[in-house]
């Protein structure tokens, strides 16, 4: 469909409400001939009429009915955005509570906190670190404003603000014997010392289920600390298992590499930022949520560029 600019959205909405281009033009204080030209041009782009032109009025066609739903939703979202922008301009204080899991407490939230403190020093932030079940409960019970975690269970009471699908892989130093391979098997990793998330971290049961028959995990280190697992991965020949967002800065700098594992290729971790559906985001919470999304988007884009650089030419 042709891209609709803001002026055209208003034209279409007003014509549908007024029932004629002339009346819409009067209300908008625009020449009716100018509106008519744009409507005809859009109908040509869409390949069909938006309005049925009757003797005394204009009526939406089936195509027009479909289009007007999009138009009015877009206008509503634009109005809401303007209201939020206006509220942010006058924002002088705010307190936001975030629940997350241990693996995300330092990243990406640390980067978010730094950016927010630089730009909005008046914001008061509280970050509660807990297991996934407690994170979800805290959000549903109204104890926190936002939740950031992997694989948050679906609930009709939650609204997903953004989400990122991530595949797990074997993380290791660049000098590791398995580094640089296009793909490895989980059994290949068992020959090396493993630094593994403990049973409280969602990755561990995924690894257990993916093990070859009769194989067992015998880790050299177990921890629920993502920092410790990342540090151990630097010490070749240790291997840990994380996703790209968990080690984004290391991958971008070239300090570590993530090698795809065949048994884990179909396994996806979904990083979710959520709020309660019945609770409209106040300006401060909206600001924090947008900053979290910006940081995550930047990390995902950086990883994509690194991946493209290593594709065979």
- Is the pTM higher than 0.85? no
Residue intervals of the chain classified under CATH 3.40.190.10 are: 94-162+270-309
Fold entry, domain 6-89: Arc Repressor Mutant, subunit A (1.10.10)
CATH class held by domain 94-162+270-309: alpha beta
pLDDT digits (tens, 9 = 90+) for 4-28: 677 888 889 999 999 999 999 898 8
pLDDT digits (tens, 9 = 90+) for 76-126: 877 766 666 655 565 566 788 999 987 787 777 888 888 888 877 778 889
Residue intervals of the chain classified under CATH 3.40.190.290 are: 165-269
Output the average pLDDT for the chain: 87
pLDDT digits (tens, 9 = 90+) for 124-136: 889 998 888 899 9
The full DSSP string for the chain is -PPPPHHHHHHHHHHHHHSSHHHHHHHHT--HHHHHHHHHHHHHHHTS-SEEE-SS-EEE-HHHHHHHHHHHHHHHHHHHHHHHHHHHHT---EEEEEEE-HHHHTTTHHHHHHHHHHH-TTEEEEEEE--HHHHHHHHHTTS-SEEEEESPPP-TTEEEEEEEEEEEEEEEETTSTTTT-S-B-HHHHTTS-BEEE-TTSTHHHHHHHHSPTT-----SEEES-HHHHHHHHHSTT-BEEEEGGGGHHHHHHTSEEEEEBGGGTT-EEEEEEEEETTSPPPHHHHHHHHHHHHHHHHHHHHHHHHHHHTS--
Confidence of residue 271 (pLDDT cuts 50, 70, 90): very high
pLDDT digits (tens, 9 = 90+) for 220-269: 999 988 889 999 999 999 999 999 998 999 999 999 999 999 999 888 88
In this structure, CATH architecture of domain 165-269:
3-Layer(aba) Sandwich (3.40)
């Amino acid at each position: 469909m042709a891209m609709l600019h803001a002026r055209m959205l208003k034209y279409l909405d007003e014509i549908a409400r007024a029932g004629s281009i002339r009346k819409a033009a009067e209300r908008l204080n625009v020449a009716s001939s100018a509106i008519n030209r744009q409507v005809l041009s859009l109908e040509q782009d869409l390949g069909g009429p938006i309005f049925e032109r009757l003797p005394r009025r204009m009526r939406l066609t089936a195509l027009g009915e479909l289009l007007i739903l999009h138009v009015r939703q877009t206008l509503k979202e634009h109005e809401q955005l303007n209201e939020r922008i206006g509220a942010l301009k006058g924002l002088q204080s705010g307190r936001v509570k975030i629940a997350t899991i241990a693996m995300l407490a330092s990243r990406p939230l640390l980067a978010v906190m730094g950016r927010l403190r630089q730009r909005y020093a008046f914001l008061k932030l509280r970050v509660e670190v807990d297991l996934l079940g407690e994170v979800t409960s805290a959000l549903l019970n109204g104890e926190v404003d936002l939740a950031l975690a992997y694989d948050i269970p679906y609930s009709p009471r939650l609204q997903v603000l953004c989400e990122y699908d991530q595949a797990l892989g074997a993380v290791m130093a660049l000098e590791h014997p398995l580094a640089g391979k296009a793909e490895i098997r989980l059994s290949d990793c068992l020959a090396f010392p493993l630094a593994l998330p403990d049973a409280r971290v969602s990755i561990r049961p995924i690894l257990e289920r993916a093990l070859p028959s009769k194989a067992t995990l015998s880790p050299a280190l177990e921890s629920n600390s993502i920092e410790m697992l990342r540090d151990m991965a630097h010490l070749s020949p240790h291997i840990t298992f994380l996703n790209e967002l968990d080690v984004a800065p290391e991958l971008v700098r070239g300090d570590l590499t993530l090698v795809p594992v065949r048994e884990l290729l179909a396994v996806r971790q979904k990083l979710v930022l959520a709020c309660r559906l019945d609770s409209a985001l106040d300006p401060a919470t909206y600001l924090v949520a947008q900053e979290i999304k910006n940081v995550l988007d930047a990390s995902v884009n950086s990883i994509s560029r690194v991946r493209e650089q290593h594709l065979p030419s």
